[in-house]
Structure 1
Amino acid sequence: MVHKEVADHIRSWRFIVLLALIVLTFITSMYVSLRNIKPAVSNISDPDHLFLYLKLLTTTDNTIPPFHVFISFLGPLLGISLGFDAINAEKNNGTLIRLMAQPVYRDNLLLSKFTGAMVIIATLFISLCLLMLGGGLLLTGVRIEPQELLRIATFIVFTIVYVSFWLALAILLSIQFKQAATSALTAIGVWLFFTVFYPIVVNLVIRAFLPDPSFLSRDEIAGYNEMILNILRVAPGQLYADATTTLLMPSVRSLGPLTMEQLAGAIPTPLPFKESLLIVWPQVSGLLAATVVCFAFSYYLFMRREIRS
């Protein structure tokens, strides 16, 4: 069943279009990074200038965003496109009844839908990152450091988890709604809300109730900024941005505001991989929990769904 789902996704035009779009953005980002890699590496004031392969994922000349920013926008579309018609299309085409007439359990069908899409997502991002590593090695001749390899591998895992959340949400909506168009529009609406409108609403509402900053101390301002950041982290895109920024930029020491006392005496050096992972572990746990909740709710609804015509 997983093999069939993978084959169906590969042959679908919507996957081919999204694959071409993601590959095109990857090639464009890598071209801009390679064109600006020498100034970035030679910048001694940058504490991350020694991490060449991380610079390939983060360096830009401000004409286009880096690759991980592109993925924060295109990743949800990939997950939604692979899952918005996972169940309702089978039911509308009459194939769901035929499948259930066979010795196939409902949970196996749902797991095959999710696993088949996850195989596609994991293969895509692993292939792109291996292509980036191979291209960087051929063009620069610089050996990759073990810490860079660990950070890039963890970045791939975080990206797969991020896209899997939107995949689980799309499958949930495909079970809840009878029409594939309705589930697709609802999933895209959720994505647009958290990507575009949620930060605007949070900033407008919270800042309207905040006191005048001129009457606050530095610690109180830092506390209010931390509160705003915590509310913004309800959005999956913010969690992914925090995690990838910390992993791909080892000099990032905190995801919140720091006071002058905390900055006093701090040396701008890269953090070890373990320390960076500890910083982003709450974000990763949040994405994993949201994915598990969406899939568990999908399982509950599908097991109780009436599938007879």
Structure 2
Amino acid sequence: MKGIINALDNNASVRDEKQQNPFWILVRKEVAGHIRSWRFIILLVLVVLTFWGATAVAMNNIKDTVAKVKDLESLFLYLKILTTTEGTLPPFHVFLNFLGPLLGISLGFDAINSEQQNGTLTRIMAQPIYRDNLLLSKFVSSLLLVGTLLLALSLLMVGGGMLLTGVMIEVEELIRILCFMLLCTVYVGFWLGLSILLSIVFKQASTSALTAIGIWLFFTVFYQIVVNMVVTMLTSGSGELTQMQVMHLNEIILNILRLAPSQLYADATTTLLMPSVRSLGPVTMEQMAGAIPSPLSIRDSLLIVWPQLTGLLAATLLCFAFSYYLFMRREIRT
């Protein structure tokens, strides 16, 4: 009788494995490969140490503030943990503006070309697996790891704040923090999609990694310098500008700078984590007249950051669409 039961259990397990979607099998394989790799472990340690250093500095300042302030509901305590700094270390969202691209690039720069160089791509495609499942599993598995990491860090931050201050988190603060983590995941996803695209374009993993880092350095360091130089050259002979012309020029410069993913991320995180921010562009004194100096609701803040979020999503989908097109047309048997 036991032998029959064991045989039935074995048959059921074999049947379940056959009925499993190949896509989720590939996702589990990629997640397991990332978790066991030294590259991801080093990046994980770096992100966790950065988070611990930035939040520790902020919590030391906030403990003194909590002891002095009586109206804690309007303090946005847990948002200040992510934005407060002493000057020795920048806040955590500024750190993520720097570490997020490195995290995305490191997880995707050798996604396809390393498989082809090792000869495993041909063996994988010999199985009953679609090409789009393989490409999508590379992207989804890395995003799952990044999202899980950011969610765990946010929950640790909330729990540590409750233990140190004894103040319960407000619902609006929790929603803002979760939206911030979602935005960070999308930001990392853009650089992940770009690095996967470069891993398809270039045959060598080192070439794709250097190209991705070069693009990141251009948008992070040199893009603003180039834009300011071009604008200065164009406006040097126009004489003195009026107030409206200066505002119009600043608005044009800001829109050009928003072509950089780092600028979109900075604008969105500033609005989500600082409810007092009411506008992301230049504002005249006439527009400020009559404005009530109160924090915005979460709905109004989301309406302000919606263009930035859709811009990052569109850029990510565009990179993945190019990756899909090139990978579906590639000859993988050679």
The bucket for the TM-score relative to the shorter chain is: over 0.9
1:65 paired residue number = 90
Q: Normalising by the residue count of structure 2, what TM-score does the alignment of the two structures yield?
A: 0.89
Query: Which residue among 127, 152, 157 is the counterpart of 1:132?
Result: 157
- 1:161 is aligned to 2:186: yes
Structure 2 partner of 1:8: 33
The amino acid of 2:95's aligned partner reads: F
Aligned-partner Cα distance in 2 for 1:34–1:213: 50
> Matched residues in 2 for 1:154 and 1:216: separation?
40
2:319 aligns to what? 294
The code of the aligned residue for 1:146 comes to V
Q: Which of the numbers 271, 278, 292 marks the counterpart of 1:267?
A: 292
TM-score after normalising by structure 1 = 0.96
2:167 maps to 142
The residue type paired with residue 39 of structure 2 is: R
The count of corresponding residues between Structure 1 and Structure 2 is 307
In the alignment, structure 1 residue 217 sits paired with structure 2 residue 217: no
1:240 aligns with 2:265: yes
How much has 1:213 moved relative to structure 2? 8.6
Superposed CA RMSD in Å reads 1.7
Alignment match, 1:207? 232
Q: 1:255 aligns with which of 271, 280, 286?
A: 280
The aligned counterpart of 1:83 is 108
Distance 2:50 2:194 in 1: 25
Report the CA distance between 1:39 and its aligned residue.
5.3
Aligned residue among 107, 115, 127 for 1:102: 127
Q: CA distance change for structure 1 residues 100 and 19 in 2, over 3 Å: closer, same or farther?
A: same
Give the unaligned 5+ runs of structure 2: 1-25
Shift of 1:49: 5.8
Q: Is the 8 A contact 2:79 2:177 kept in 1?
A: yes
- Verify the 8 A CA contact 2:63 2:165 in the aligned structure 1: no
Alpha-carbon shift at residue 265 of structure 1 (Å): 2.3
Query: 2:333 aligns to what?
Result: 308
Once the two structures are overlaid, the 10-residue window that deviates more, 204-213 or 284-293, is 204-213
Partner of 2:15: none
Indicate the percent of aligned positions where both proteins have the same amino acid. Answer: 67
Matched residues in 2 for 1:112 and 1:276: separation? 33
Contact 2:193 2:319 in 1 (8 A): yes
CA deviation vs aligned residue, 1:191-228 (integer Å, no higher than 9, x gap): 00000000111111112212579722212111111111
Which of 216, 227, 235 is the matching residue for 2:252?
Answer: 227
Mark the structure with the bigger radius of gyration: 2
For structure 1, the 5+ residue unaligned runs are: none
**Alignment of 1:189 onto 2:184:** no
Once the two structures are TM-superposed, the CA of residue 12 in structure 1 deviates from its matched residue by: 1.0
Q: Which residue of 2 aligns with 1:276?
A: 301
Secondary structure in 1 aligned to 2:272? helix
Aligned match of 2:14: none
- Does the aligned pair in 2 maintain the 1:76–1:191 contact within 8 Å? yes
In structure 2, C-alpha distance between the alignment counterparts of 1:5 and 1:209, rounded to whole Å: 50
User: How many Å separate the matches in 2 of 1:295 and 1:213?
Assistant: 43
2-side partners of 1:298 and 1:216: how far apart? 46
Residues 262-300 of structure 1: CA distance to partner in whole angstroms, max 9, x if unpaired?
112222210011001111110001000000000011000
| 2:3 corresponds to | none
Letter in 2 for 1:125: L
Distance 1:48 1:197, change over 3 A: farther
Once the two structures are TM-superposed, the CA of residue 63 in structure 1 deviates from its matched residue by: 1.1
Please state whether the residue corresponding to 1:229 is helix, strand or coil: helix
Residue 291 of structure 1 aligns with an amino acid whose one-letter code is T
| Cα distance in 1 between the residues matched to 2:238 and 2:81 | 39
Deviates more, 1:14-23 or 1:47-56: 47-56
The question of whether the paired residues in 2 share the 8 Å contact of 1:79 and 1:170 is answered with yes
1:228-270 CA-to-partner distances (Å, cap 9, x unmatched) read: 1100000000000000000000000000011011112222210
SS state of the match for residue 104, structure 1?
A: coil
- Output the CA distance in 2 between the equivalents of 1:252 and 1:49: 15
8 A contact 1:40–1:59 mirrored in 2: no
Tell me if the contact between 1:43 and 1:49 (Cα under 8 Å) persists in the aligned partners: no
Q: Secondary structure at the match of 2:282?
A: coil
Distance 1:258 1:32 in 2: 33
CA contact (8 A) 2:275 2:295 kept: yes
